[in-house]
Structure 1
């Protein structure tokens, strides 16, 4: 992001502070297409070694792949893996998509799995996932999409729970027009890794898990590849910086909201 980035007039006094919030992110680009076993993807079938326990929901039913990120295909981002495959599974029989909202990181009806060492012999991988059943309209993605990635930068959006305290504003509604303009300039709704999240309502981390500052993955609603979260919402997966550095994905916060 250029140093002469645009700001609403009332935010000019905060330029130096906001400049310091600029951080790198990975923009995710999608194409509706069939994918290979090792590809980064939304939907489709996962890379999964035989003999490994497949993720199940609380009732013992299989979860379904939402997203697979092969970090060998992703530009390097500080603290994020450089290799390995990270997967996001959700409950395909739950109209809340496995989410309990706000406070839960227990992964009872969703699961984050990281494969550090990749088995390249496909005869040792599961090839038939017909055992995964999806109930009608119970999964946010209907199609399969191949992913590509580019690195960019992002400034902290106004919807981030840290934004108001950062610039010394307790009540955004006292400056509603200025904040609305800033929202428009730096809307953070998109598919991404890293950077800052976007929301259609509010940032749940203001109340729970304030240490989960890193965006592990954001998946937006996207008509082009048949993804929908409720009424055109967005899903976020958050992780603490320390857990990210340690490749510990056991306490990932999952949330989605819609208008």
Structure 2
């Protein structure tokens, strides 16, 4: 389990920081072929023949970005499913990868689908996904299929989370005149990496600080630009958020999708 490590200069603020700790499931990847049922980035999704495959408004089939089989995820995260498969599809034929800058909850260009009851008979599942295309000149965030494994831990509020200005007010006030300390603080509490739960990382601003997104405090999934085969634009990051009440109801119709880069 990952523990909270702080530079000596911030030890005096440990109590403040530890009060923000949230359970997190950190994700590791392995490049290999996966089954239809496994947790993965990219690859072929679990998809029953009885369902309509998700498409963009232009009729372009969306491509699987990630699939999480919660039967293989530790029961570490409050309100998250304990079984079932959660999927994230995005438009691989769109320059902004299906994100709507004006309405991050508009799922026309992306889709979050939850399969609560799993069909085990593969003959009842879609097998051929050759109809899913990606624009050749567009770099899809995940270049190669990757199997996922999970490690539980806890994570403090990230410094660029929209809530940090209030919760870290004392710390930020004390260090605001020292640029090196400010830089170190943001680097220490950066929340980078692949994860479920915990807190997000942004290369730009937290979109939840604006409009109707302030209740979308639960990080459903974060995929970071890590290694040779995951890249969002110019070394960016992708995030999906949901409200606590929506998560309890397993209602993924208003998930907030955001990605940004440097």
Fold shared, TM-score > 0.5 on shorter chain: yes
1:2 CA drift (Å): 5.3
What's the counterpart of residue 19 of structure 2? 20
What's the counterpart of residue 58 of structure 1? 57
**Structure 1 residues 120-178: Cα deviation after superposition (integer angstroms, max 9, x where no partner):** 00000000111111111432222100000010111111111101111326889655332
**Structure 1 residues 51-94: Cα deviation after superposition (integer angstroms, max 9, x where no partner):** 20110101111101000000011111111111000000000110
Q: 1:42 to 1:137 in 2, by over 3 A?
A: farther
1:187 CA drift (Å): 2.3
SS class of match (2:245): helix
What's the counterpart of residue 249 of structure 1? 252
Q: 1:186 to 1:168 in 2, by over 3 A?
A: closer
Q: When the two structures are superposed, what TM-score results if normalisation uses the length of structure 1?
A: 0.92
Q: When the two structures are superposed, what TM-score results if normalisation uses the length of structure 2?
A: 0.91
What's the counterpart of residue 87 of structure 1? 87
On the 8 A contact 2:65/2:88 being kept in 1, the answer is yes
Q: 1:137 to 1:66 in 2, by over 3 A?
A: farther
Residues 249-258 or 100-109, more deviating:
100-109
Matches for 1:40-55 after TM superposition, within 5 Å:
40-55=39-54
Q: Which runs of 5+ in 1 are unaligned?
A: none
What's the counterpart of residue 222 of structure 2? 218
Q: Which runs of 5+ in 2 are unaligned?
A: none
Q: Is 1:34 the counterpart of 2:37 in the alignment?
A: no
On the 8 A contact 1:14/1:167 being kept in 2, the answer is no
Q: 1:197 to 1:117 in 2, by over 3 A?
A: same
Number of matched pairs: 256
What's the counterpart of residue 143 of structure 2? 142
On the 8 A contact 1:24/1:152 being kept in 2, the answer is yes
**How far apart, CA to CA, are the structure 2 residues paired with 1:174 and 1:164?**
16
RMSD: 1.9
Q: Is 1:206 the counterpart of 2:209 in the alignment?
A: yes
